[in-house]
Chain A
Amino acid sequence: MNVVMVERVVAVIGAILVAATASVALRNDWRTPGLENHVFKGMLGLLALGAVLAFFAALGVLGKA
């Protein structure tokens, strides 16, 4: 297994973990009131989106490689 393959596998596993974690955190905080919590929810959503993008990039589906 070469270095690129190791990077790819670690990135894919990490992206799944981060996307799942951010989604669960978002679901748990969904009903919390207050402006700061709304900001956190928006940012958790974008974090999950970023992890999904990284997942597809690591798989080679997205990206200009």
Chain B
Amino acid sequence: MVSDLVLFSSFIFAYLYLRNSGQGWPPPGMSRLDVTFAALNSVVLFGSGATMHFALENWKHGHFMKYTGWLIATIVLGIWFLCGQGWEYAHIHAGWANSGIFGASFFTLTGMHGFHVFCGILFLTILLLQSVQGKYTQQKFFGLTAGTIYWHFVDVIWVVLFSIFYLF
């Protein structure tokens, strides 16, 4: 996770450096991003962070059925977010793909984040299967804790990306 943090930080700082280098950002003539749709998609991802928190709390308190429900909700919300991102890519103005470093920064950072969400969904699905098989107990559940930290990390990275691309 630390290596991921360094990776994202490097790209984010590169983006901010380019943005403030005085060449006009975004380039003239570029269409704006759909902030309302991005806000909705962000709420979906942030909501998945809350459901993941509930899943772990219910596991700690021995409520297996509730844990399973919250974990499945997290996976569904993660898939929903990825579908939303795919929809945004599909409907983004064609000029974005040919806008040089501006579009490259956007697609690299959001794409890399989307890939991490995809890996997180796989991770959580494996955790769900393992917990159903009885691999974890109420005393030993490091995998679930690691999964929760990873998922929160993906959420927090999106707070930064959402802010720099859509808000400020």
Contact = CB atoms under 8 A, between A and B. Distances in A.
Contacts of B47: 14, 17-18
Contacts of B129: none
Interface in A1-30: 4, 7-8, 10-11, 14-15, 17-18, 21-22, 25
Contact of A40 (B46, B152, B163, B166): B152
Nearest to A28: B57
Interface residues of B, number: 33
Given A43-B152, A47-B155, A50-B162, A57 B46 contact: no
Contacts of A39: 149, 152
B50 A47 contact: yes
Contacts of A46: 155-156, 159
Interface of B: 32-40, 42-44, 46-47, 49-50, 53-54, 57, 145, 148-149, 152-153, 155-156, 158-159, 162-163, 166-168
